[in-house]
Chains A and B, each alone.
Chain A
Amino acid sequence: MAGSGVILRLAIRPAAATPETMREAVRSAIGEATVKKGRVKLDLPPIVENGNSVPCTVSVESPMTAADHVKAIHIFNEKNPQPNVISIKLNPRAGRAAFSTRIRLADSQTVTAIAEMSDGSCWSDDIDVIVTLAACLEESIR
């Protein structure tokens, strides 16, 4: 009985995002722009005890003027069921290109933040996170 339950669960378990699907998600968000490392700072705890709620902050070096500002920031992951985490849109009214939220992580993986600038350039930062208790796939009590 217990064995069949395990098989059932594995069968239904959704396919995880892969580095390839993450690349596709990145392309559909920012197009063909080249992504350079730098200017972006992604802050996540390196070791996560509970993947259900992981504090996450992204900040980007930018004067946030009409001529030079951050248009959008995206966060992607490699191994959750979906590669997208959040996409935000900014304009010079923000004053500072930074935001914080709390995210779910289904596995130990690389998380990437990409910032789109008003001049069309894209900058990124990534961080490897170790997750001990995974989100998304746990049994429900409902």
Chain B
Amino acid sequence: MARALIHVPPSAKRGDIVEIKTLISHVMETGYRIGVTGKPIPRDIIDDFVCTYNGEEVFRAKLYPAIAANPFISFFTVATESGTLAFSWTDQHGATQVQTATIKVE
């Protein structure tokens, strides 16, 4: 779908609260703008974002057209164990993009 940037600290101490930052390139077209033809430009937004940590959901967001283009979301999670964080963005048409990052927990 698009290019995504993810920042997860590569390593953390067990029990630390770590900040995760994500950004995906997407127009987030609101559906309220008028194009040069005089017709509204159809809505095209990402409306769902989920982060799982070793398969368990830790953060979920429902996005509306009021989220700026190239949605940026940062949030926190507790570093419980080494493993994989999976990030998935789903647009209104049901297309999903998944990207993963690994974290080492000592």
Chain B contacts for A96, CB-based, 8 A: 17, 76
Question: Which of A53, A94, A103, A140 meets B34, CB within 8 Å?
Answer: A140
- The answer on a CB contact under 8 Å between A91 and B34 is no
Interface of B is mostly: strand
Interface flags for B63-97 (1: CB within 8 Å of A; 0: not) read: 11111110111111110100000000000000000
Alpha-carbon gap, A52 to B67, bound state (A): 9
Q: Could you say which residues of chain A place their CB within 8 Å of the CB of B34? A: 9, 12, 139-140
Which chain A residues in 126-142 approach chain B with CB under 8 Å?
135-142
A138 to B29 alpha-carbon distance, docked (Å): 12
In the complex, what distance in Å separates the CA atom of A80 from the CA atom of B61? Answer: 19
- Interchain CA distance A15-B17 in the complex, whole Å: 42
Tally of contact residues, B, Cβ under 8 A: 34
- How distant is the Cα of A48 from the Cα of B68 in the complex, in angstroms? 14
CB neighbours (8 Å) of A105 from chain B are 66
**Contact (Cβ within 8 A) B77 A136:** no
Interface: B102 (CB within 8 A): no
Chain A residues with CB under 8 A of B41: 140, 142
B62 near A86 (CB under 8 angstroms)? yes
Instruction: Known contacts A86-B63, A139-B34; decide if A99 and B73 are in contact (CB<8 Å).
Output: yes
Contacting residues, chain B, for A141 (C-beta < 8 A): 36
**Chain A hits for B80, CB < 8 A:** 93
The answer to whether A88 touches B71, judged by C-beta atoms less than 8 angstroms apart, is no
In the complex, which residues 55-110 of chain A have their Cβ closer than 8 Å to any Cβ of chain B? Answer: 77, 80-82, 84-91, 93-96, 98-105
Q: Other than the known A12-B34, A88-B59, A88-B60, what 10 A-B pairs have Cβ atoms closer than 8 Å? A: A8-B38, A14-B32, A53-B68, A86-B66, A94-B58, A94-B59, A96-B76, A98-B75, A99-B59, A140-B36
